[in-house]
Structure 1
Amino acid sequence: MGILSRMSYVVRSKINALLNRAEDPTETLDYSYEQMRDELQDVKQGIADLTTQKKRLEIQKRRLEENVEKHNDQAREAVRQDREDLARKALEKKQSKMTQIEELEGQIAQLQNTQDDLVDKKNQLENRIEEFRTKKETMKARYEAAEASSRVSEAMTGVGDEMEDVGRAIERAEERTDEMEARSAAMDELQDTGAFDDAISDKDSIDRELDSMRSGSEVDTELETLMAEMGKSSPSSEGDTASDEEIDAQLEELESSESSEPSESVDASADTDTETELEELENEEESRAE
């Protein structure tokens, strides 16, 4: 195969592939069906034209037959009048018309045969068109069903890809969330251990422990001084094991009890003063009465 032949073959194959991709089978079937209907219409038009020609010949044949009768009557009349020459001419014309009638009959018969053949072909074509229409509708239905199925498959494939992207996005979001939660927990742990204070303070762990011991000693000294002033015994160390919540609750109870005691003493003193004033008034009245 030469270069030009190969190029021609490649070009034809490319064009054929493009046409196959651009071709819509349903449109092709509809176009073929319309073409067959057009052919059927042409056959019917040909039959109509042929029938018209046959009718014209038949009309011409009837006119010739009328002329034959007319020439026959003319010959009879000429014989009665002893005009053999006129009778001969009339018969000659009659014979000419008879010849024409025979030719017309042959043409009419030929046209009739052609018409019969065209009618048969028309009927066959109509049957083929009807069969093709049924197959066409069936093929269109199958094609449309296959096309719909293909679109659904493509859509499902697209949805699958999209859902895969969504799944990856969710995984990334979960990883990011876990990372942030871990970071937050780490920050809380560092805050509890004082790592942040270490970072911003110049004191090391020994200095902070000494400060804590020094602060605790100062609190104990102040508590002993306060107990001595109020005549109480030295505090025991049992309360050191109590939690902060329990200590807060005990302090609130103590404050409430102390706030209630002064009010009772005030009421008692008020009653005593009132009784004293009443006794003084009674004494003054008795002295005045004397």
Structure 2
Amino acid sequence: MGVLSRLSYVVRSKINAALNRAEDPSETLDYSYEQMRDELQEVKQGIADLTTQKKRLEMQKRRLEENVEKHNEQAREAVNQDREDLARRALEKKKQKMNQIEDLEGQIASLQDTQDNLVEKKDQLQNRIEEFRTKKESMKARYEAAEAQTRVSEAMTGAGDEMEDVGRAIERAEERTEDMEARSEAMDELQDSGVFEDALSDKDSLDRELEEVRTSGEVDAELETLKTEMGKGSSDSGESEADSAELDAELETEVESESADEDIEAELEELKDDDESS
């Protein structure tokens, strides 16, 4: 197969596929029905024209028959007048008219046969059109029902083009949402780590570090002042350690006491529940 033949085949196949997608069976059936009705109308018009032509020949035949009768009367009168020559001429004209009448009768008979044939075909075509109309309506109803069922099935299964577009839109929305969530978490992490400087602040990272050191120094100085006021300086470190040990012991005793109280309360609650259940 040559290049041009292949190209022509591909083009025809593409056009045929496009036509199949664009073709609506309901519209096609209606169009076919209208075409058949147009054909029936043409047949009826042909019958009418043929009948008109036949009527013209019949009228011409009647005029010839009147002339035949007239010539016959002329011949009789000529014979009564002893004018054989006139009688002969009248009879000759009568014979000519009778020959014409015979030809017209043959034409009229032929037209009548054609008319009868056309009428029979017209009746057959009309019956076919009625049958086609019934089948057409049935096929349209079946097609519309199948189309509706297909749309419902595609909607339920998500196999249709529209549902496919909806599914893709949902996937894109989910992807964008996940991207925005990840970006938001990244911005929070970078902000907490100090990578991004506050746009409203005129301090850089060095200023913030110096401020942290200065704050820590102020806290240490205040702590030393407090210790000095309470007599907890470095000379009293032994006493401080003893007091610290005593304080730890008191805290442990207090914790154990609180734990014992909690155990007692738990046992009381269990007894109370047993009494209520009994």
Cα deviation, residue 210, structure 1: 2.8
TM-aligned CA distance change 1:239 to 1:76, over 3 Å: closer
Question: 2:91 — aligned with what?
Answer: 91
C-alpha separation in 2, matches of 1:239 and 1:85: 167
Amino acid at match of 1:213: E
Question: 2:58 — aligned with what?
Answer: 58
Question: 1:115 — aligned with what?
Answer: 115
TM-aligned CA distance change 1:133 to 1:242, over 3 Å: same
Instruction: Establish whether residue 75 from structure 1 lines up as the match of residue 112 from structure 2.
Output: no
TM-aligned CA distance change 1:241 to 1:56, over 3 Å: same
Cα deviation, residue 2, structure 1: 1.3
TM-aligned CA distance change 1:242 to 1:45, over 3 Å: same
Question: 2:247 — aligned with what?
Answer: 210
Question: 1:135 — aligned with what?
Answer: 135
Cα deviation, residue 157, structure 1: 2.1
TM-aligned CA distance change 1:65 to 1:207, over 3 Å: farther
Q: For 1:63, what is the secondary structure of its paired residue?
A: helix
C-alpha separation in 1, matches of 2:65 and 2:249: 150
Q: For 2:127, what is the secondary structure of its paired residue?
A: helix
Question: 1:229 — aligned with what?
Answer: none
C-alpha separation in 2, matches of 1:155 and 1:8: 38
C-alpha separation in 2, matches of 1:131 and 1:102: 44
Q: Deviations over 1:130-180 (max 9, x none)?
A: 1111211111111111101011111212399889x7xxx9xxxxxxxxxxx
Alignment identity in percent?
A: 77
Cα deviation, residue 122, structure 1: 0.5
C-alpha separation in 2, matches of 1:75 and 1:207: 172
Q: For 2:82, what is the secondary structure of its paired residue?
A: coil
Q: For 1:107, what is the secondary structure of its paired residue?
A: helix
TM-aligned CA distance change 1:144 to 1:209, over 3 Å: farther
1:135-214 paired onto structure 2 within 5 Å? 135-158=135-158, 210=247, 213=250
Instruction: Report the structure number with the largest CA radius of gyration.
Output: 1
Unmatched segments (≥5 aa) in structure 1: 170-201, 218-237, 247-290
Q: Deviations over 1:69-121 (max 9, x none)?
A: 01100110111011111111111111111011001001000100110110111
Cα deviation, residue 239, structure 1: 12
Amino acid at match of 1:41: Q
Amino acid at match of 1:138: S
Question: 1:9 — aligned with what?
Answer: 9
Question: 2:32 — aligned with what?
Answer: 32
TM-aligned CA distance change 1:209 to 1:51, over 3 Å: farther
Give the TM-score normalised by the residue count of structure 1.
Answer: 0.57
TM-aligned CA distance change 1:122 to 1:211, over 3 Å: same
Instruction: Establish whether residue 103 from structure 1 lines up as the match of residue 91 from structure 2.
Output: no
C-alpha separation in 2, matches of 1:85 and 1:209: 180
Cα deviation, residue 211, structure 1: 6.8
Q: For 1:153, what is the secondary structure of its paired residue?
A: helix
Amino acid at match of 1:136: K
C-alpha separation in 2, matches of 1:8 and 1:37: 36
C-alpha separation in 2, matches of 1:84 and 1:101: 25
Q: For 1:82, what is the secondary structure of its paired residue?
A: coil
Instruction: Establish whether residue 49 from structure 1 lines up as the match of residue 49 from structure 2.
Output: yes
C-alpha separation in 1, matches of 2:258 and 2:5: 110
Q: CA RMSD in A?
A: 3.7
Q: For 2:158, what is the secondary structure of its paired residue?
A: helix
Amino acid at match of 2:29: L
C-alpha separation in 2, matches of 1:213 and 1:47: 129
Question: 1:21 — aligned with what?
Answer: 21
Runs of 4+ in 1 over 4 A off after TM superposition: 159-163, 206-209, 238-243
Question: 2:226 — aligned with what?
Answer: none
C-alpha separation in 1, matches of 2:12 and 2:250: 100
